[in-house]
Structure 1
């Protein structure tokens, strides 16, 4: 990719890449851990609701006192767009806040790396379009699974392969959709006290378990790559890496997919709870189809595991390193003016589904909570149904009773049509809803 060489050339010319980080949680801390080891990269501003927590995070990940003393720690997000900051990293995880920060960055002429996938799925196509018109880069975050998967899809297409399926692995059982923060830790093999002592947020970790995060990430991949979304939502088929070419192919070819060219998540658990052999829980994959007999012969000659026809094969990364890899996005934006994945259309949506029977008057508590989980839907189906995005299903009061397992709709909740986040989402739907 040549990024390190470009960075050193930039450094020799006397101009480091200067970054502002907004949100010093786990992802942000992992990024900060790498900063001292990349000459030519500087983070002079860190924004967090708790500046002292951010400073403590820097100490935890190994920053020396001189680097900490030279850094501005603040709760004022406006400081991120000031001065000679070149790239802003949005890592808050809050959709409304993420949209606001992205627009502030774009308005100030700064590149934006959107770790906040929740915000990206809610309004990413619109934000990316605004960034392009402003001459700056809006990018998904390398190290997170959507950007890594988008990279593999691009690799497959650029080399002439047809992409059959792409996505990630996760730990999944159907019963997880109804899990609440109260019961989440047993599924991670932890006690509540152990999780609390480690500073782990039960609602955030539950969003990984209950399927919400998978829906959000697959929507992001679909929007960035143009791949389709399964019509009935994610299947989460149990599948190890050796079986990807067999399982992740169309049904008429012997697999589980409704058609070729879709996003999908594979489970690291069999439906009876047993572990899948050589699972892909921490990784990403792309299943590709040989365009001709010669390429299929090459699959066999070079040892690729294929399906029985020899036409379908898979590539995968067994792990992703989250924030430890984020510099790839930052340097790509600053030095090459290229994103590491970017939404170009509105093909996938993550919508709110009731975890139990809900009653009118109840307050929704968002992803990973006690009331709803996020399900993947084709954007066209979501718009036709008037489905409520999971990114907005927080602190909204229900107007109607909702049955367990039902999709919530805009007309089921009391919302403020003048709210900036709601208006942004509606503008995105208007601008991109017909572009499939």
Structure 2
């Protein structure tokens, strides 16, 4: 963002440094810390939370950032930040209470913890940028509503596919075209991958095997496309999306989609496995303007009726600083829900499930997630993948069958279940009977 680099330089020159709190210490959080502290003027990561302070310390040490203080004491943390030290803490409540922190970045991928933390942040007057598509897909609409009620800002960040796609969607729409497909390009997909099959790959990248499984079994892309749907109003053409496979360039694949059906649905979110350029994103759009059609053809975009726009990469944490600045200084959230849920991610059996089985959630051994239109989810009383962890199966469910609320016993006392019920009221949906 060209405006952002100018604004951050102005912050640096005036000494008005934007102080960020980082939640998490995984590989993505490490990348964000490195990007902000070592490569972004006018911004710093003043405090980082992790369940293990030693793990956070190892992140800072590996990045050559040794001027830090480990503390769970509010006054000591404020003093350290004022002195230019980086604070590391195991106390999320203390972090949310820090007056010197303006915005928190949530990067854990956790649902219950993430929801609890965001509400604490909102109540403490903290803005939040999320790098947690799983949480945003599951509870983004109600969290966005809560943020507005507390007078703070909340958005999903740039860098991962949802934010990159939304940037492209807005760009295409700003030229007067009508986006009809927001697409993601995947290199592979296997619904039945597990943390055991992904262990070696995960280790090679310093990644948690559960996270690697989330990518491989299609659950992650379902969450990502759900976020885009909730931010645009687009739907899915069928349960699980169409998910075409092709090794061709996305420019050559517009024929795969029925334009009239796309228009009936108001556009769709989807993905293609094996296409080029990988790992990019694309938007297929149309126009009725004959003058525009003439010069789209002149620009080598073809004869329509669908025109292909794409970005050949997504840059993960490299884009996080611009996301923060856009939200804080320009009130421009990269991706926010437009109302209530439009597309949810539902729970599907990865293997036969039996009474007494404890569901292990996202990236586990027992289930995977698929996109489904929200109205259908409500009608069938389907269990959202984002709240499946910890639920106990009460009947036999064959492999590849969906899981309903009535098929499980939900743990008592979870915040996410309360928020889910509140979220259903946003667009006056029929209440799911939990």
What TM-score results when the alignment is normalised by the length of structure 2? Answer: 0.89
For the residue of structure 2 that corresponds to 1:432, the secondary structure is coil
Q: Which residue of 1 aligns with 2:39?
A: 37
- Asked whether the 8 Å contact 2:184–2:281 carries over to 1, the reply is yes
Instruction: Tell me the residue number matched to 2:87.
Output: 72
Cα distance change on mapping 1:433 and 1:402 into 2, 3 Å = farther
Q: d(CA) in 1 for partners of 2:385 and 2:184?
A: 20
In structure 2, the partner of 1:188 is none
The C-alpha deviation readout for 1:369-397, integer Å capped at 9, x for no partner, is 11100010001111111111111111221
Question: Aligned in 2, Cα 1:336/1:53: closer, same or farther, shift over 3 Å?
Answer: same
Q: Report the 3-state secondary structure (helix = DSSP H, G, I; strand = E; otherwise coil) of the residue aligned with 1:93.
A: coil
Match for residue 104 of structure 1 among 111, 117, 120:
120
CA distance in structure 2 between the aligned counterparts of 1:373 and 1:302, rounded to whole angstroms: 42
Question: How far apart, in 1, do the equivalents of 2:373 and 2:390 lie?
Answer: 25
Match for residue 189 of structure 1? none
C-alpha separation between the residues in 1 aligned to 2:428 and 2:64?
45
Aligned to 2:355: 360
1:340 & 1:333 partners in 2: Cα distance? 8
Residue 289 of structure 2: aligned partner: 292
Check conservation: 2:285, 2:308, Cα contact below 8 A: yes
Deviations 1:264-314 (A, max 9, x none): 01111xxxxxxx5xx23311111111232211111111222x3xx433211
Whether the 8 Å contact between 2:27 and 2:206 is mirrored in structure 1 is: no
In the TM superposition, residue 20 of structure 1 has moved relative to its aligned partner by 0.1
Cα distance in 2 for residues equivalent to 1:195 and 1:406: 28
- 1:340 corresponds to 2:334: yes
- Describe how 1:14-413 pairs up with structure 2 within 5 A: 14-35=15-36, 36-60=38-62, 62-66=63-67, 70-81=85-96, 82-173=98-189, 176-184=190-198, 192=200, 195-196=202-203, 198-239=205-246, 240-244=248-252, 246-250=254-258, 261-268=267-274, 276=275, 279-304=276-301, 306=302, 309-345=303-339, 346-413=341-408
- Secondary structure in 1 matching 2:283: strand
- Shift of the 66–245 alpha-carbon distance from structure 1 to 2, 3 Å rule, reads same
Distance 1:244 1:137, change over 3 A: farther
* C-alpha distance in structure 1 between counterparts of 2:423 and 2:266, whole Å: 27
Q: Which runs of 5+ in 2 are unaligned?
A: 70-83
CA distance in structure 2 between the aligned counterparts of 1:166 and 1:227, rounded to whole angstroms: 8
Task: Pick closer, same or farther for the CA change 1:51–1:327 going to 2, 3 Å.
Answer: same
Q: Is contact 2:346–2:385 with CA below 8 Å preserved after alignment? A: yes
- 1:181 is paired with a residue whose SS is coil
Q: Secondary structure at the match of 1:298?
A: helix
Equivalent position of 2:77 in the other structure:
none
The Cα RMSD (Å) is: 2.2
- Distance verdict in 2 for CA 1:162–1:251, change over 3 Å: closer
Contact 1:168–1:281 (Cα < 8 Å) also in 2: no
> What CA deviation, in whole Å up to 9, does each residue of 1:85-131 have, x standing for no partner?
11100011101111111111111111101111111111100111111
For residues 247 and 80 of structure 1, the distance between their equivalents in structure 2, rounded to whole angstroms, comes to: 51
Contact 1:361 1:399 in 2 (8 A): yes
- Contact (CA 8 Å) 1:80, 1:88: kept in 2 or not? no
- TM-score, normalization: structure 1? 0.89
CA distance in 2 between counterparts of 1:410 and 1:135 reads 34
The 8 Å contact of residues 169 and 266 in structure 1, kept in 2 or not, is answered as yes
Whole-angstrom distance in 2 between the partners of 1:359 and 1:135: 46
Residue 24 of structure 1 deviates from its aligned partner by: 1.4
Q: Alpha carbons of 1:212 and 1:244: their partners in 2 closer, same or farther (altered >3 Å)?
A: farther
